[in-house]
Chains A and B, each alone.
Chain A
């Protein structure tokens, strides 16, 4: 399963709930969800375990639009573009949106 979270973890529990149900699935942060990828935040600690296993991704264009430099992204979180988003859905789908 490829899960996406599109809300800031400081605003809603979507990321926390997604991580609690991630199992061996993969997580992509998009839209306002990308704020969860910033190193040193509480959210980054929550996703550290799956990130260390290479199962957490963040959408680069959404980072750039929001002024979040890729160098500030937490360890293990991989930056992908929209083509990468498509490949994640293709390889690890179905897709579940935590909206």
Chain B
């Protein structure tokens, strides 16, 4: 099956991004495809390469970049949500791109399942 993932909360503050990551890894393990993950609202804060977690903590942004590179996942950040939070092209971590909300509706249509992780 093809899974689309929607993440609506930022990293470290809320478990949503962690849950989404573990779900995505499991979906890939189960032989499913995850063509796109869409980051919306505070979820866009998952996309900045400027974050520097402490040494003993997980690196949420790098995990997404690495998963995207290994499995060819399209990490899309909502443009309006990103710009109002200072997330721009020049601060994006590898694998992320900024685009419109149409990309969310599109993956809703294309995927067999859309799975939402929010507050």
Which residues of A are at the interface with B, using a C-beta cutoff of 8 A? 6, 30-31, 61, 81-83, 85-87, 89-90, 93-95, 97, 99
Q: Which residues of A contact B19 (CB under 8 A)?
A: 6, 30-31
Contact of B115 among A61, A95, A99 (CB under 8 A): A95
Q: Are A94 and B22 in contact (CB under 8 A)?
A: no
Contact of A87 among B15, B22, B25, B30 (CB under 8 A): B30
Contact residue range for chain B? Answer: 20 to 34
Q: Are A90 and B1 in contact (CB under 8 A)?
A: yes
Q: Taking CB as reference atom, which chain A residue is nearest B119?
A: A99
- A84 → chain B, closest Cβ, in Å? 8
Q: Are B119 and A94 in contact (CB under 8 A)?
A: no
- B102 → chain A, closest Cβ, in Å? 20
Give the distance in Å from the alpha carbon of A89 to the alpha carbon of B15 in the complex.
Answer: 19
How many cross-chain pairs have Cβ atoms below 8 Å apart between A and B?
Answer: 48
Q: Are A83 and B26 in contact (CB under 8 A)?
A: yes
13 additional contacts (CB under 8 A) given A6-B19, A83-B30, A99-B8: A30-B19, A31-B15, A61-B22, A82-B23, A85-B26, A86-B23, A86-B32, A90-B1, A90-B30, A93-B112, A94-B113, A97-B116, A97-B117
Q: Are B27 and A86 in contact (CB under 8 A)?
A: yes
Q: Which residues of A contact B115 (CB under 8 A)?
A: 89, 95, 97
Q: Taking CB as reference atom, which chain B residue is nearest A7?
A: B119
Q: Are B114 and A95 in contact (CB under 8 A)?
A: yes
Q: Are B113 and A82 in contact (CB under 8 A)?
A: no
Q: Are A86 and B30 in contact (CB under 8 A)?
A: yes
